[in-house]
């Protein structure tokens, strides 16, 4: 009897905690519009190198023109860091930096690039350097995330594309 009561209590707790999550806003679908061309998955690169991709059903011709169209905007490329959360704009990158919060022009291109963030209308970026990797042995592991931004610099949906690559370990 005691086991049955514990099982019922566990089921009730699971049901109430699941109902507290607002999963109705999440898309839970695969988006195959973007395909990485270079580097190949887990490929070893040396700097300088290019990250390139192809994209379907997204127009970058307007850039950051102030529109909120989900099929038109720019790419935000994040090297060795996660993108901003869903619903946030590019200004979120400087959210904890008091010097950036005091400057209305921040985050500008230099600031973003120093944080491993690149905004582009092109379907590629070239990197001369990579962020420092943690100490360790063997090749350094790196990754890139690409997300879409509308013309106001706001992230479009949850969709993001991820690619891992490696480089020769640099001495500390």
163 pLDDT more than 90: yes
Give bridge partners of residue 120 from the DSSP assignment: 75
Higher confidence at residue 9 or residue 151?
151
What letter would DSSP give residue 97? -
Whether pLDDT at 141 is above 90? yes
Q: Which segments within 15-73 are labelled E, that is strand?
A: 34-38, 43-45, 49-55
Q: Which tens digit of pLDDT belongs to each residue from 53-89?
A: 999 999 998 888 998 988 999 999 999 999 999 989 9
Alpha-carbon distance of 27 to 39, in angstroms, equals 28
Cβ-based neighbours of 153, under 8 Å, separated by 6 or more: 64, 74, 89, 90, 91, 119
pTM of the model: 0.81
Q: For 104-139, how does the pLDDT look when each residue is reduced to its tens digit (9 = 90+)?
A: 889 999 999 999 999 999 999 999 999 988 888 889
Sheet holding 140-149, edge to edge: 43-45, 155-167, 140-149, 74-79, 117-120
Model pLDDT, residue 16: 46
Identify which of 74, 94, 43 has the alpha carbon closest to the alpha carbon of residue 150: 74
Domain boundaries of the chain, sorted by first residue = 26-167
| DSSP type of residue 92 | G
pLDDT at 19 over 60: no
């Amino acid at each position: 009897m005691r086991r049955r009561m514990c099982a019922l209590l566990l089921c009730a707790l699971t049901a109430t905690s699941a109902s507290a999550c607002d999963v109705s806003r999440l898309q839970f679908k695969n988006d195959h519009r973007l395909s990485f061309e270079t580097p190949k998955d887990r490929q070893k690169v040396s700097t300088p190198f290019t990250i390139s991709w192809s994209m379907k059903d997204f127009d970058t011709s307007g850039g950051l023109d102030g529109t909120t169209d989900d099929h038109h905007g720019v790419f935000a490329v994040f090297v060795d860091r996660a993108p901003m959360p869903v619903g946030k704009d590019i200004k979120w990158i400087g959210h904890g930096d008091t010097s950036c919060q005091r400057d209305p022009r921040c985050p500008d291109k230099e600031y973003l690039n120093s944080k491993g963030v690149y905004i582009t209308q092109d379907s590629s970026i070239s990197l001369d350097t990579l962020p420092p990797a943690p100490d360790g042995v063997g090749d350094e592991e790196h990754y890139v995330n690409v997300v879409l931004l509308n013309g106001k610099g706001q992230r479009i949906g949850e969709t993001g594309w991820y690619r891992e690559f490696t480089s020769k370990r640099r001495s500390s």
